[in-house]
Amino acid sequence: MIDFLLGFLIILLVGTAAFALFTDKLLNSIITLSIFSALMVVILIVLRAPDLALAEAVIAAGIMTSFFVITIDKTEGV
């Protein structure tokens, strides 16, 4: 059961990475990367690595997403 769940999550992970890479809009790419980070958190929890999952959730999904959105907002007029 865990193997099926991990396989499904990894397929979703590859799909979100491909969408973030090939999308035209930068904001869509950033939102997809935050979904990628959330999927990574779920995978790390399934693999019983809660310390890494917490670090991934705080740093990648939280701080980096907000930094990217703020940077796009400030450089949109340039």
Contacting residues for 50 by C-beta, under 8 A, at least 6 apart: 44
pLDDT at residue 78 greater than cutoff 60 = no
- Tell me the per-residue pLDDT of 7-49, one tens digit each, with 9 for 90 and over: 999 999 999 999 999 999 888 998 899 999 999 999 999 999 9
3/10 Cα distance (integer angstroms): 10
Residue 75 is predicted with a pLDDT of 87
pLDDT value of position 4:
94
The domain spans of the chain are 2-75
Return the half-sphere exposure (C-beta side, CA atoms, 13 A cut-off) of residue 59: 7
Asked whether residue 53 carries a pLDDT value surpassing 60, the answer given is yes
